[in-house]
Amino acid sequence: MGAGLGIGGAVTEAWTAIGGSMADTAKSVAGLSVAPERLKAIQEDYLKQASELWNSTLEQKAPTGLRDKRFAAPEWRDNTAGGFMAASYLLNAQTLQRLADALQGDEKARQRVRFAVQQWVDAAAPSNYLAFNPEALKKAVETKGESLQQGMQHLMHDLRQGHLSQTDETVFTVGQNVATTEGSVVYENPFFQLIEYKPLTAKVHERPFLFVPPCINKYYILDLQPDNSLVRYLLSQGHRVFMVSWVNADESLAKASWDDYIEQGVIRAIEVTRDIAQVDQINALGFCVGGTLMATALSVLASRGVEPVASLTLLTTFLDFSNTGVMDVFVDEAMVRMREMSLGADSPTGGGLMRGTELATTFSFLRANDLVWNYVVGNYLKGEMPPAFDLLYWNSDSTNLPGPMYCWYLRHTYLENKLCKPGAATTCGVPVDLGQIKVPVFIYGSREDHIVPWDAAYASTQLMSGDVTFVLGASGHIAGVINPPEKKKRSHWVTGSGVRRLPASAQDWLASAQEQPGSWWPVWSEWLSPHAGKMVPAPRQAGDKTHPVIEAAPGRYVLKKA
């Protein structure tokens, strides 16, 4: 494909390069093939459109159909060569994707071919290369080369820091303009610090609320800035709020296991929160992997005859890993075994670290145009500084994971999907049975989530024994969750709450749901309030005699860089 594919060449040769080689390659990949009639139809469409494009270019007509935002600038339309490159690229990209979709054979192999094609298509866009990007070239001329000099400086800076800049990271400082809600660290062990936030109301609900964020990211996604902080919102609703701040793992935790994160992480956080608040039960929330950890911990506690949680909230969480979306492309027995041998418990050293930068890069390439190539063009070809954006600053603040913990998670969830099968997985010495969780559960999914597909989040509604409420929000994995009511953005879908058993099919649920404007937060707050107990005077200080204040929030752990 590439920026100049088709320039000065015959259309039929271009088709041979695209369609023929793609079909031949497919035959050698797990027995994949394209039905001859489908191949012929794609070929005929390609030849027709390519001929029309070539004739239009010869007639000096402006290209049509350049709706892709990468080619939205007038320089692409006003420049004959640039417009032709963009239009031919889009046609070739569409054809490759149609061919990938037409493959017949093993589904996992088809997914991998589609993913590889998408990565190649994204990387080959003419906008990504200075010589083919009329926007960048025009700016270089207008600035007398200064934009290129700035771009080179940005490239050298990113090479030194070890990751692509997605925002102006100099604007943000954790504890100063992100993660600013006032609170205190009241407990710490090698795995996490526990933050207790200062109440915002004179009275608070008797039962405190515990947040368990994902351990593959920093906790402050839930407390970015005052106007989009879920923590601050919950405090304003009269809740006493605690937060787990996971440590950014280093070599001292290289042998830590999934069981350690359950026992010394989630279960310990629940115990300390109960002790400080002097209550038998708390309300708890798990976000993404934090929800997987939380549900596993509650199953372990149920097996021990302990029910310390009055209600459970799961945000964009996998419990049933039957449908992992594009992530399934990466996971098979060979890949998991390789990880186990290199950094898991089976490695020569008995452990290692899964580097946060590797995880962050993987997630970025799931949306390569938005999270990779967009910044390559802006930062390096145009020499522009990316705008300050708190969410992208958080996204770049990556965390390491202990290898054994990460490998257990990969094998038992993504590869073997054991957590949703009663007794199939053992954690902390007991079989995991999510059906033992009998408390009311609020489950949230994001409709455009590419990490936890919303129907996969919905699948959790079938696994636990208590009353279940499911809410679907618009947008993606993060933007859908962090949606404060004051912004009056997006929408959400709801049905009746507190249902013993929701439909097994996510699509059946959606067919009966009603779309409502704005944030889902008020729906959740209304659901949570009856489970939070009576109102009592807010505590005057954080912690207690056994758990005195260690330091002010956000604490040391969140400041540690990968």
Catalytic positions, written as ranges: 288
How do beta strands 401-402 and 353-354 pair? antiparallel
Q: How far apart are CA 471 and CA 494, in angstroms?
A: 5
Q: How far apart are CA 192 and CA 187, in angstroms?
A: 8
Q: Which token pair is 216?
A: 């593959």
Question: Measuring CA to CA, which residue among 187, 503, 434 is closest to residue 296?
Answer: 434
> Can you give the length of the chain in residues?
562
Spatial neighbors of 363 by CB under 8 A, at least 6 apart, are 371, 451
Spatial neighbors of 191 by CB under 8 A, at least 6 apart, are 246, 247, 253, 256, 260, 261, 264, 265, 268
Q: Does residue 19 contact residue 39 with C-beta atoms inside 8 Å?
A: yes
Give the CA angle between residues 49, 52, 133 to the nearest 5°: 85
Question: Measuring CA to CA, which residue among 375, 323, 393 is closest to residue 111?
Answer: 323
Instruction: Find the helix or strand (DSSP H, E) in which 285 lies.
Output: strand 282-287
Q: Which token pair is 553?
A: 């929030």
Give the Å distances, CA to CA, from 32 to 48, 100, 160, 260, 331.
26, 10, 42, 43, 19
